[in-house]
Amino acid sequence: MEKVYALFGCPVHHSLSPLMHNDAFQNMNIAARYHAFHVEPEHLKDAISGVRALGISGLNVTIPHKTTVMPLLDDIDPAARRIGAVNTIVNENGRLVGYNTDGPGYVRALEEEVNVNIKEKRILVIGAGGAARGIYFSLADRGAKQIDICNRTVSKAKQLIDECDAAVSSAAYSLNEAEARLGDYDILINTTSVGMYPHMEEMPISLKNMKEGTIVSDIIYNPFETKWLKEARKRNAIVQNGVGMFVYQGALAFEKWTGIFPDVQRMKKIVIEQLR
């Protein structure tokens, strides 16, 4: 019987996940379909009961359900619990198990697309929300030397560092403080929504003090290349857009569901075709 996979989010109508996963299922001759469902927060509990009742094989959950879905599951992977968010759920013979592939997906994309070894790198993360949290942990796990966080609200950056208690040296800065010390870093990562469609004129921080050859990475993929990345490119940075994180988080979810790591280049091509 054909298996069913789903995305729960609000909104979901622009999601590229159905296209990406359905193509992978088809390409690999796996009898399965992936469908996006618009689930309002007050319906999440019923929707998860529906997953159990209907025997849906696996899920992605996105904004605003990544944290609120956690108490509705039977088990949560320790890494996802540490991050405090779940984006992938596997139905293991009726037991719903939550994982987080966002942070690991980001790091894998960084390693494979930019060909960088994260070990011993000095990294600045801009933003202190849910995405920053997953990325921070995953970078720490890969042996980064230093991961500083700057944020509009500095107290949130401090809080993230304190709560995470990761084995890495970290400091919290205001956006202005971080701008002044940009030359200290090997990798700059924007995890905020600043510069995302339709506010495409905005930049998270100035790159004036960045040194040439710095890796500048933005998790935004709409627009394909943010104003910030264009500016980084002009200053001879190595740039990476958000398509990689999106594709790799999907590929890692696909692997959790099927046991097979899909063709990421094919997934990336499909996503890029839609975005251009």
The answer to the question of residue 100 lying near ligand ATR (CB under 6 A) is no
Strands 95-99, 75-76: pairing is parallel
Q: Which span (69-77, 116-124, 128-136, 138-146) binds ligand ATR, by CB under 6 A?
A: 128-136
Q: Rule CB under 6 A: choose which of 110, 125, 131, 229 binds ligand ATR.
A: 131
Q: Which residues contact 180 (CB under 8 A, 6 or more apart)?
A: 209
102 is in an annotated binding site: yes
Q: Please, what sign has the CA dihedral across residues 127, 200, 102, 167?
A: negative
The contact mask relative to ligand ATR for 145-184 (x = CB under 6 A, - = no) is ------xxx--x----------------------------
The answer to the question of residue 191 lying near ligand ATR (CB under 6 A) is yes
Q: Which span (10-18, 29-37, 126-134, 242-250) binds ligand ATR, by CB under 6 A?
A: 126-134
The answer to the question of residue 110 lying near ligand ATR (CB under 6 A) is no
Q: Are the C-beta atoms of residues 182 and 124 closer than 8 Å to each other?
A: yes
Minimal distance, residue 67 CB to ligand ATR, in Å? 9
| Tally of CB atoms within 10 A around 113 | 19
Q: How far apart are CA 220 and CA 194, in angstroms?
A: 9
> Torsion angle of alpha carbons 209, 154, 215, 246, nearest 10°?
-150
Q: Rule CB under 6 A: choose which of 15, 193, 209, 222 binds ligand ATR.
A: 193
Number of residues that make up the chain = 276
* Edge-to-edge order in the sheet of strand 146-150: 172-173, 146-150, 122-126, 187-190, 215-218, 238-240
Strand partners, 147: 123
176 is in an annotated binding site: no
The answer to the question of residue 87 lying near ligand ATR (CB under 6 A) is no
The answer to the question of residue 103 lying near ligand ATR (CB under 6 A) is no
Give the position of tokens 């995302």. 196
Asked if 211 is an active-site residue, the reply is: no
The answer to the question of residue 104 lying near ligand ATR (CB under 6 A) is no
Q: How far apart are CA 182 and CA 242, in angstroms?
A: 21
Q: Which span (29-37, 75-83, 129-137, 226-234) binds ligand ATR, by CB under 6 A?
A: 129-137
Q: How far apart are CA 86 and CA 69, in angstroms?
A: 7
The answer to the question of residue 135 lying near ligand ATR (CB under 6 A) is no
What's the distance, CA 271 to chain centroid? 15
The answer to the question of residue 214 lying near ligand ATR (CB under 6 A) is no
Q: Which span (12-20, 176-184, 185-193, 239-247) binds ligand ATR, by CB under 6 A?
A: 185-193
User: Which residues contact ligand ATR (rule: CB under 6 A)?
Assistant: 127-132, 151-153, 156, 191-194
Q: Which residues are annotated as a binding site for NADP(+)?
A: 127-131, 151-156, 219, 242
**Catalytic amino acids?**
66
